Amino acid sequence: MNPKKLKQLKKRARQNRPMPYITQLNRYRDLFHADPKVLVLINNALEADRLLAAGLPPQQLPYLQVPDDFQDELFQRINNTYAMGDPAGDAEWNQLSAALPKVDKLLRDFRDYLEERYGMWAYISAPLLKDLANFTGRAPVLEVMAGNGYISKGLSRLHPSQTIYPTDSKAWTREKNNQTGRQPVIAVEALDALSAFEKYAADIQYIIMAWSPDHLTIDWELLQAIRASDYDIPLIVIGEKYGATGSKQFWDNADYQTGPEIEQLNAHFRPFDLIHDQVYVVK
């Protein structure tokens, strides 16, 4: 190929390449610097990313969606800032009102970014980890479907002497172009949920399962195995009931435990998007 033509094609490819997610957020943070309601949402997402990139658990997130009435507030702010007919006010309104749906979509896509960048499906915040640590105490814990191990890593930070067994089948890491499984934050043993339970059942007092896939029945098979065993082990589940996670068989047949301690597990677990997952304790 003609070198000049090749150079042109490479330049065009660079121009068409999507801007990195965090770069986009930073640009919108600068754009909406005078609008606290949007600015605080962007800053929360950026801070969560900063902490995760540093190997630290993020803080709890607000609901990452631009408020329905924000466009009216934006119009009022610009009207109050500029004189009637000032072209600078018209220019700012045109720029920000056009950017608003884009930043809203970007915020709604934050979970997708976390999945792709960090392999974090359930949002594991520092306050949630503290609640899980308080609930399990220093009792030995098995984590199944641990993914990159954010829960096990967080618990081990809070209780260094606690015995924790992070396990995962790691089947998802073999998917084409899937990079997230190559970034574990703690050593994760390659065991599916049933094999992990069979191996560690005699040595544990709790099992933690976060975001079991919604197209598999492994969660229901695990629950049946626990019930058929000689061990009375509570299963701590993080997921969206009859939604994005878990099988219908599991949610239909789970025996949901109640009480103040279980309510405390959800004290700092709030949805930040359209997925309404929470923490359950099941037997």
pLDDT along the chain (283 residues), means of 10: 50 61 98 97 98 96 96 96 93 96 98 94 97 97 96 97 96 60 87 98 98 95 98 98 97 97 94 97 97
Bridge partner residues of 282 (DSSP): 235, 256
Q: Quick check: 281 and 237 in contact, CB under 8 A? A: yes
Q: What is the secondary structure of 39-96 as a DSSP string?
A: HHHHHHHHHHHHHHHTT-PPPPP---S--TTHHHHHHHHHHHHS-TT-HHHHHHHHHH
CATH number of 120-282: 3.40.50.150
Contacts of residue 60, Cβ cutoff 8 Å, sequence gap at least 6: 125, 126, 127, 128, 268, 270
Q: Quick check: 121 and 147 in contact, CB under 8 A? A: yes
Predicted local confidence at residue 16, as pLDDT: 53
How, if at all, do strands 189-190 and 206-210 pair?
unpaired
Predicted local confidence at residue 183, as pLDDT: 84
What does the pLDDT look like over 20-35, one tens digit per residue? Answer: 999 999 999 999 999 9
Domain spans in the chain, listed from the N-terminal domain onward: 3-108, 120-282
Instruction: Scan for tokens 């600068």, then name that residue.
Output: 30
Other beta carbons within 10 angstroms of residue 61's beta carbon come to 20
The tokens for 270 are 């709030």
